Amino acid sequence: MPRLKRGPHEFELHKGADAEKDQSYVLHGIKREVLPHLLFPVGGFVKAEIRELAREAGLSGVADKPDSVEICFVPSGDHTDVVRRRRPEVAAAGVIAEKDGTVLGPHDGIDRFTVGQRKGLGVAAGRRRFVLEILPETGTVVVGDPEDLQAGGLVASRINWLTDVPAEPLRCAAKIRYRHPGVPALVTPTVDGGAVVRFNEPQAAVTPGQAVAFYDGTRVLGGGWIERAMN
């Protein structure tokens, strides 16, 4: 869980004490005006401490409960089944192809792939291939070499700021997926409510549709949704 702190002028959203269980990345979209009304009572603890508190309270079922490793609303572990029930159009067959258009084989739906994926592609290319791009309009999954995954930045939309909107480019850390450590970047807000993000060093597997969150140390400054990667 994240933490709330009272700053000099307002409440701030911060990373939780337990880096392995921190959820601040997925909460970047909370509205700024709501922060004073939120409670995150376990944000200052690590999981082992919570288990010990539960044990002391006689809640052995909680204290010894195994960690969940699946998506909470997909108890079966098969996220593809959930996606296809809600969005059956993504199950349309297509092809897996190299950047030059060489077709390596068919697939039964783009919902089985994500940018950066290496395993489970279902084709034999003779060398390691990674998903570089997914083209929904044609059902094509483009694959290539690991170095092709590197991007110098990204364009994001629908930015939700938990601070005043920066009047000039902002240097901060940008986190592009849940397990990403966050890296130094320059964030430039755009007039349409988006942002252009330039990394200090290229990053792999910048994925349209995923979130990007901005941090100053442990504080969440805001975030939005990745539209496309940039070289």
Calculate the alpha carbon distances from 222 to 17, 71, 101, 133, 160 in Å: 19, 24, 38, 26, 5
Q: Which helix (H) or strand (E) holds 213?
A: strand 211-216
pLDDT tens digits along 122-174 = 998 888 999 999 999 999 999 999 999 999 999 999 999 999 999 999 999 99
Split at pLDDT 50, 70, 90, the class of 70 is: low
| Rounded Cα–Cα distance for residues 102 and 125 (Å) | 11
| Rounded Cα–Cα distance for residues 229 and 204 (Å) | 10
- pTM, rounded to two decimals: 0.89
Q: Going by DSSP bridges, is the β-strand pair 103-107/94-98 parallel, antiparallel, or unpaired?
A: antiparallel
pLDDT tens digits along 71-121 = 776 767 778 888 888 888 878 899 999 999 999 999 999 999 999 999 999
Instruction: Please name every residue paired with 187 in a beta bridge, in sequence order, or none if there are none.
Output: 170, 197
Question: SS3 of 62, please?
Answer: helix
Beta strands in 89-231 (DSSP E): 94-98, 103-107, 130-135, 140-144, 150-161, 170-175, 183-189, 195-204, 211-216, 219-230
| Rounded Cα–Cα distance for residues 179 and 182 (Å) | 9
pLDDT tens digits along 210-224 = 999 999 999 999 999
Tokens 């430039």, located at residue: 188
Phi first, then psi: what are they for 21, rounded to 5°? -115, 5
Mean pLDDT calculated for residue range 28-51:
94
**Cβ neighbour number for residue 123 with a 10 Å cutoff:** 15
